[in-house]
Amino acid sequence: MDLIDLRSDTVTKPTPEMRAAMAKAEVGDDVYEDDPTVNKLQEMAAEMLGKEAALFVPSGTMGNLLALLAHCQRGEEVIVGDQSHIYLNEAGGMAALGGMQACPVKNRSDGTLALDDILASIRSEDVHHPITQLICLENTQNICGGVPLTAAYTRAVGELAHSNNLRLHVDGARIFNSAVAQNVSAKELAAPADSVMFCLSKGLCAPIGSMLAGTKTFIKRARHLRKMVGGGMRQAGIVAAAGIYSLENMIERLDEDHARARKLADGLRQVKGLVVDAGSPSTNMVYFNLADDVTLSAEQISLEMGKRGVIIGPENERRFRFVTHYWIDDAAVEKTVSAFNKIIQ
């Protein structure tokens, strides 16, 4: 039985074509910057994001951490969304490894931070206060529904940051989902930011890896920090080859994942007992709750779905997030909706 795994787009296994590209990758020692495949991937990523340089890193978490470490000194403060991955899901790395303090600002339901809230969170010059150094945005904003942030909003935050002598980092783990959903280039979404991170290992299907992009000086510093945290890899071209395949072949098709997420949401809306979030999905994530009269818990439903070959992970006792991706086809969407109908009725 082919399993239908809707927990995340991180579950995407590499395609056969991607594995073939990996097998024939030319490699070298990337710590010496000798790996031609890694170098090519870094040039491609920098070009696509409109930045001077880029760095291949093992994970998105490391990419964000290196950005924070490169932008900030110990004791400095970072403005982050209170629903952001950096704040909630990176094991407190900024505090533990960078000695930085997070200044959480409320994420609104559209994924944005209100400009007034950001402004109010910037510390004044005072011997008692930490120094505000950096603002972080997340695009798409995962917990708010996989919602894309617009280029105009990002520009406004960039202007606010720069006019206050701060820098802007964009956690763009899914920036290509955002770009495709809005029919704009990733370059345009990244333009206002001093640094951007995106993941190859999510909807783009690569097995491992993320990219961090910014100025040459910033990337030089990030490369040094990458070595410090143990992220200097050797013949990394074998995995970088998958990343190149992703950038060349996996971006435009993200539209299909978005269309299937809409189809899945439409199907789930017909299931009595499920309440899909208004407006969901924006990209490849469908968020929904169990109605009050459903007596089964999300956990029990997950177990039942598992028996029918559909792997899901509840967000909490009453809430789910389903993520569509390369390995979810129309039949998988239909099978999921019909399994729900059987279990809940």
Determine contact, residues 200/62, Cβ cutoff 8 Å. no
Query: Which residue in the set 201, 246, 302, 324 belongs to the binding site for ligand PLP (CB under 6 A)?
Result: 201
CB atoms within 10 A of CB 139: 30
Torsion of CA 23, 26, 32, 38, to 10 degrees: -70
- Least Cβ distance, residue 60 to ligand PLP (angstroms): 2
String marking each residue 144-183 x if it binds ligand PLP according to CB under 6 A: ---------------------------x-x----------
d(CA 341, CA 345): 6
Query: Which residue in the set 15, 112, 132, 142 belongs to the binding site for ligand PLP (CB under 6 A)?
Result: 142
Query: Which residue in the set 39, 59, 101, 185 belongs to the binding site for ligand PLP (CB under 6 A)?
Result: 59
* 203 binds ligand PLP per the rule CB under 6 A: no
Stretch of 34-42, 58-66, 104-112, 226-234 contacting ligand PLP, by CB under 6 A: 58-66
* 138 binds ligand PLP per the rule CB under 6 A: yes
Total number of residues shown for the chain: 345
CB-based burial of residue 217 (10 Å sphere; 0-12 exposed, 13-18 middle, 19+ buried)? Answer: exposed
Place of tokens 């390995």: 327
Which C-beta is closer to ligand PLP: that of 284 or that of 289?
284
Query: Which residue in the set 60, 81, 111, 267 belongs to the binding site for ligand PLP (CB under 6 A)?
Result: 60
* 199 binds ligand PLP per the rule CB under 6 A: yes
Diameter of the chain measured on Cα atoms: 64
d(CA 329, CA 23): 27
Note the residues at the interface with ligand PLP (CB under 6 A).
Answer: 59-61, 64, 85, 138, 142, 171, 173, 199, 201, 210
